[in-house]
Amino acid sequence: MYEHILIPTDGSKTAEYAVEQAVDVASKYDATVHALYVIDVDATSYALGAEQVDRIRQGHLDEMPEIRAEADEATGYVADVAAEHGLPVREHVTAGEPARAIRKFVEENDIDLVVMGSHGRSGLSRVILGSVTEKVLRRTRLPVLVVDVHGGDQGAEA
């Protein structure tokens, strides 16, 4: 049923919480786990400038060791957990607007399931902050498992 499971990660605790769920599903189906880190070019353009963002888009991450290290740490966490369960894992890094980059990755890599974490925000905070998870969920045509970081604790704030 599931041969390729995508776990988009930004290295946050919310993303790490989703990893456990994704690996559990992957173990049941002996699926390949794909860890994807998206460098948010909109967010980094303010800090780095247009020229460096263009270099990132062209795949020259080795010129920016801080960003590369952050990406490697985030995907490495997913890879370590998957490897502990004997699952095949592939690490990927790309640049772009996160929700769009995730959807593009899904389309180009025969992904069967996406597993993402969510803060479970609602109302105005979700509207103001936006939600990569929500955008992927609404604009992707395959199953998306959303793991709420609060795990049923409806009143908690992140």
118: left (phi over 0), alpha (psi -120 to 50) or beta: beta
Residue 157 or 18, more confident: 18
Q: What is the pTM of this model?
A: 0.82
SS (H, E, C) 43-70: HHHHHHCHHHHHHHHCCCHHHCHHHHHH
As a whole number of angstroms, the distance between CA 142 and CA 150 comes to 24
Q: What is the pLDDT of residues 85-121, one digit of tens each?
A: 999 999 999 988 999 999 999 999 999 999 998 865 5
**Of 53 and 77, more confident:** 77
Write down the pLDDT at residue 3.
Answer: 97
* Superfamily per CATH, domain 4-148: HUPs (3.40.50.620)
**pLDDT 10s digits, 30-68:** 999 999 999 887 665 555 656 666 666 666 666 677 888
Rounded Cα gap, residues 135 and 28, in angstroms: 27
Higher pLDDT among residues 75 and 151, named by residue: 75
| Lookup: tokens for 71 | 């990406």
- What are the two backbone dihedrals, phi and then psi, of residue 48, each rounded to the nearest 5 degrees? -105, -35
Burial 121-155, CB ≥16 within 10 A → b, else e: beeeeeeeeebbbbbbbeebeeebbbbbbbeeeee
Q: Between 140 and 120, where is the model more confident?
A: 140
User: What are the domain boundaries of the chain?
Assistant: 4-148
What is the residue-averaged pLDDT of the chain?
Answer: 82
Query: pLDDT tier at 148 (50, 70, 90 boundaries)?
Result: confident
Q: What is the pLDDT of residue 127?
A: 46
